Amino acid sequence: MAFLITDECISCGACEPECPNAAIVEGETIYDILPEKCTECVGSFDTQQCVEICPVDCCLPDPDHKETREQLLEKWQKSHPGETPK
């Protein structure tokens, strides 16, 4: 499932450069995660980088975008053609 950023976001921007899929964008008041790009870092890292870097713990699983690991890996492969997943 994709992740989302809650209203507790302090707009520090720490998460944006950490996302290997460029799924985090600056929103009107807080940062947003684009669910069509978010792979929970599957294929790139063992842990979700936004969760690891967020100083206020506002990056959470999005219950509206549930996906299996296989679906996330397939999405990652489309975004990273020719690369080998980790």
Q: What percent of the chain has pLDDT over 70?
A: 100
Q: E strands within the chain?
A: 3-5, 24-26, 31-33, 59-61
Separation between Cα atoms, residue 86 and residue 42, nearest integer Å: 8
Average pLDDT of every residue of the chain:
96
Q: What is the pTM (predicted TM-score) of this model?
A: 0.92
Q: Are the beta carbons of 15 and 59 closer than 8 angstroms?
A: yes
pLDDT, position 16: 98
Does 3-79 carry CATH code 3.30.70.20? yes
